[in-house]
Amino acid sequence: MQWLEKKKDKVEIITFEGDKTQAEKHIFPYFQKKKLNLSEIKPSHIADYYENKFRSGRLDGKKGGLSIRTIKMQSFIIKSVLEEAAFYELILRNPAAKVPLPKKEDEESKGGFLDAKEANDVLKLFRDHHLQPLIYMTLYYGLRRSEVLGLKWSAIDFENDIVEIKHTVVKNLTIVAKDKTKTAAGKRKYALLPEIKDVLIDFKNTIKTNKKNFGDTYINTDYVFTCPDGKPYRPDYITKEFQKVLANNDFPKMRFHDLRHSCASILYDKGWGLKDIQTWLGHAGIETTADIYTHISHTRKKCYGQRYSKYFFFVNNVFKKIRRKILRKAGFVQKQNPRTNTENSVFMRVSVWSR
């Protein structure tokens, strides 16, 4: 608990709340039940903790464990606490320092993603839904939820066709709006694409209608995407409503953040290089783009497979006889002398490019 109190004034409130939740709901209760003194904690205890949370660490009553991403967050907290204890010589060394995280059995579980056709299918599901413009823009630009919710009209230059991403809305326990993106690379400018411009202009007309309908109760803000009454969306509402619409239409479950994954995959399918995708999505490092977001779609795999299928040939005796007959007619191979040693005729230097 002392570690949390020390950290409170050193990090942003969202980061502190996230660490506090993980520590109080998962880490502290687990080790308190073990009744271990700080000096008694061994690497095996840390490894057992990770495995327990990975297999059955959910606290919402559902089966299954926590995601690797969540366990990484908890791992950071555990290592930081024990590193501080080692610094103050409360323990000899940090027992968590070299403990690996569990490995996923299924690498495909990094998140769902859509190809271009499936993305359009999702947009159709949201036809006439108030979230459709938000989802449309998220797919096109691969925006984080915090970025699309933080988009302001003042950040859109309709004359010069520029969209600037520089403000975000995030939530843990508290909703925080700030003129800052997740990383420095996250602050970026896009060309205002013609189709996006048309959607936003139409959306402005919808907002005018909403203002008339709600009258004095309408909440005026500079945010682009808001509830019909002008109230800014809660970040968790976007996720829940998105998944609700998918479920009501029997569409496979996916996270809102998977729209960002989908943008990366679609761009990759269209021939974009990883560096270009990194810049488009605002990733700090290209490793994130390559390792997490760039999945190869089924369509692309099929295309690769069709090309690859021409590389090798299964050769049997019938095929060899037919091939030899064709080559002989073309004058590439002379008729064999029956007296020629068969061992010398097994490997024939035949070139199909020169006679």
Residue 109's pLDDT is 45
Residue 182's pLDDT is 62
Categorise residue 298: left if φ over 0, alpha if ψ from -120 to 50, beta otherwise. Answer: alpha
Indicate the angle between helix axes 298-308 and 258-269, nearest 10 degrees.
Answer: 30
User: What are the φ and ψ backbone dihedral angles of 293, each rounded to 5 degrees?
Assistant: -95, -30
Q: Is residue 308 scored above 70 in pLDDT?
A: no
Token pair listed for 118: 């499936």
What integer is the mean pLDDT of 162-174? 79
Provide the 3-class DSSP secondary structure of residue 202: helix
Rounded to whole angstroms, how far apart are CA atoms 6 and 15? 13
Judge contact between 58 and 64, C-beta under 8 A: yes
User: 6: which residues sit within 8 A by CB, 6+ positions away?
Assistant: none
Residue 107's pLDDT is 44
Token pair listed for 254: 């996916």
Is the Cα dihedral 206, 207, 208, 214 positive or negative? positive
Number of H helices, E strands in the chain: 15, 5
Residue 270's pLDDT is 86
Residue 175's pLDDT is 61
| Angle, CA 135 vertex, CA 285 and CA 194 arms, to 5° | 85
Rounded to whole angstroms, how far apart are CA atoms 251 and 245? 8
Judge contact between 47 and 75, C-beta under 8 A: no
Q: Is residue 347 scored above 80 in pLDDT?
A: no
Judge contact between 200 and 133, C-beta under 8 A: yes
Judge contact between 336 and 345, C-beta under 8 A: yes
Residue 82's pLDDT is 93
Q: Is residue 123 scored above 90 in pLDDT?
A: yes
User: 155: which residues sit within 8 A by CB, 6+ positions away?
Assistant: 163, 164, 165, 166, 167
Residue 156's pLDDT is 95
User: What are the φ and ψ backbone dihedral angles of 331, each rounded to 5 degrees?
Assistant: 90, 10
Give per-residue pLDDT as tens, 125-147: 999 999 999 999 999 999 999 99
Alpha helices in 57-193 (DSSP H): 68-87, 116-125, 132-141, 145-149
Burial class (CB in 10 A: 0-12, 13-18, 19+), 155: middle
Residue 169's pLDDT is 82
Residue 250's pLDDT is 94
Domain boundary assignment for the chain? 2-105, 116-301, 314-355
Q: Is residue 343 scored above 50 in pLDDT?
A: no
Residue 5's pLDDT is 77
Q: Is residue 203 scored above 70 in pLDDT?
A: yes
Q: Is residue 340 scored above 60 in pLDDT?
A: no
CA dihedral 118, 120, 126, 127 (to 10 degrees): -150
Residue 283's pLDDT is 76
Burial class (CB in 10 A: 0-12, 13-18, 19+), 216: exposed
Token pair listed for 262: 């989908």
Residue entry with tokens 């909403």: 210
Closest-CA residue to 102 (of 66, 50, 65)? 50
**355 band by pLDDT with thresholds 50, 70 and 90:** very low
Superfamily of the domain at 116-301? Intergrase catalytic core (1.10.443.10)
The DSSP bridge partners found for residue 152 are 223
Provide the 3-class DSSP secondary structure of residue 71: helix
Q: Roughly how many angstroms between the first and final C-alpha of the chain, as a whole number?
A: 84
Give per-residue pLDDT as tens, 259-296: 998 898 888 888 888 888 888 888 777 766 776 555 55
Residue 162's pLDDT is 94
Residue 214's pLDDT is 95
Residue range 2-105 forms a domain whose CATH class is mainly alpha
Token pair listed for 30: 């687990």
**108 band by pLDDT with thresholds 50, 70 and 90:** very low
Rounded to whole angstroms, how far apart are CA atoms 212 and 11? 43
Mean pLDDT of the chain, nearest integer? 81
Rounded to whole angstroms, how far apart are CA atoms 141 and 330? 57
**Running DSSP on this structure, what letter comes out for residue 292?**
I
Rounded to whole angstroms, how far apart are CA atoms 162 and 321? 66
